Structure 1
Amino acid sequence: MEDYELFNRNTQAIIYGFQRNPIQRMLDFDFVSKREKQSVAAIIRPTQTAAISYHKVFYGYKEIVIPIYKTLNLAMKKHPNADVMINFASFRSSYETSKEALESDTIRTVVIIAEGIPERQSRELIKIAEEKKKNIIGPATVGGIMAGAFKIGNTAGTLENITLSKLYRPGSVGFVSKSGGLSNEMNFMISQTTDGVYEGIAIGGDRYPGSRLIDHLMRYEANPKIKMLVALGEIGGTDEYAIVDALKDGKITKPIVVWVTGTAAKILPKGLQFGHAGAMADSSMETADAKNRALKKAGAIVPESYEDFDKEIRKRANSGL
């Protein structure tokens, strides 16, 4: 696997937390994507008595069983090829379990679903990941998807949504968002305006995400199979200015369409937080309008409003994708 890839069609994950629906949805995606091997290698359920038990699931028309382990350590020993850990633990225990995975020899990417993890703990996890050259998606994320290859948990919704958004086969658009809910909408929008998503990641809405928008955009820039970039930022923080700097420095050369949500904040009371912990502007520089202006000035394609986002994506795709 190349450095710019997080997943491929052989990627397998260990699921921390017994989550029936996300596990089944991952397997349904595997089946319609015609993977040779299912993406869920093992499940961790620390509350069980036995060291190993089994969970029966559907894989297409067949029933198969997936092992459930009491400890992450045992699961990693039994499944050394599983290099992704999807962590459904609550915010109370996500730090300890994510730390164990990041410090292991086999896990390369940790996905942290929980929101509300203390900021100090998030920053400590980021430091560990940087030191060990590993990847974090989240906290407070729905996850991400590599079309036709690998899907994290509930990303992109049900099988019907997967089919409508053509996520069972790769397109050539790299997409990254802070919002998980909007990422589902964007998967469909991109499928209707281009040849579809190649990879889409929701980094999560916390103030200190484990990876930034620019981190994934630079991966997409390095990937020759990705021809166009789409990003969806939001009010609060300064992450989007890293995209501005990359454009100015010539580090992003592929066409990029960007929109920063939260432009309505100017008509609302100052200091209002929009859902996500990081979605609050503490200065004029952190407003959605300021970010959109800076991105447009740096050379990004920025629509007049979110309603025009699909039109700009289609226009760019039609001009040479």
Structure 2
Amino acid sequence: MRWRRALVALVLGTLAAAAGVALARFAGDPGRADPVRAVSAGLRCPACQGESVADSRSPVAAAMRQVVADQLAQGRDEAEIRRWFVQRYGADVLTDPPARGARLLLWGVPVLALLAGGYAAVRTLRPGAVRTRAVRSGAARTDPARSCAVPTGPAAPGTPDVRGRRRAYRVASVGLVALVASVAIVADRLDPPARPAPADPVAVVLQLAHDLETQDRYDAAAQMYQEALRDRPDDGVRLRLAFALLRAGDGAAAQETARDVLTREPDSPDGLLVLGLAQRNSRSVEAGDTLRRFLAVAPAHPAAAEVRRLLATGPEPAGR
């Protein structure tokens, strides 16, 4: 039985070494000391190709890291933050989305096969089962009434029958390991780890900008809208940028963006609104005319009542 003890010692030593390596990696992982990086490493940057939010230097990734930091400060854990991003941007925002489809099926089959193989090994090779068969065989040989019966089990653990069972089990084990390896290779080919970025990265950026606005972080939101304009030069995005700039206190940039939209669509209600408000904040004499034109173009606009109130109170007071 020395070889069994040596085998057990080898297995235990291997497990201990693996545990030591895992602990060393865990202790040396800089992400553990930086919770923002640890969470960001599991998020994919929508503006980059194959980079995580933790590694990317893009403005989008910087904004996403800030969102992660804000949520950690609010007491949310990593799982809650990941769910928050998935709900808004889809599962592809994760660097390691959960297995699904053929990949999940192909990984489930070998697990079941391993469990079945382990159960068969316990039933076939456990010492109690071997001793029971040996006792039954010995009883059959010593019982006069069964002296002519053919033994139904091996006489001892070292008999050819037991050796044959063990040999068959070893061959089956090798085949099972080969099956698991083959399935892993096939699963990776069917569903490669390098998944593409989300289908519409601009939509992700716009949603992120909206989330930043709800947090009153208008400077960061304006930066996100500018990032979206690089890939989608749309007047709707420009108007959202103009409003973010106005709320961030950059009236000059807000006026410039609104005028850019109005050159293509002179009667744009939102363009006139943001231009008139920016002019009023800068105490321009043109503010009244622009806001009255806005009311003429869109008298039922949701902001019309507030604009009428502003016009009734007169120009923006000095010093604001």
Specify the TM-score bucket, using the shorter chain as the normaliser.
Answer: under 0.3
Instruction: Considering fraction of residues, name the structure with more helix.
Output: 2
Name which structure has the greater RCO, CA cutoff 8 Å, separation 6+. Answer: 1
Instruction: Considering fraction of residues, name the structure with more strand.
Output: 1
Whose Rg is larger?
2
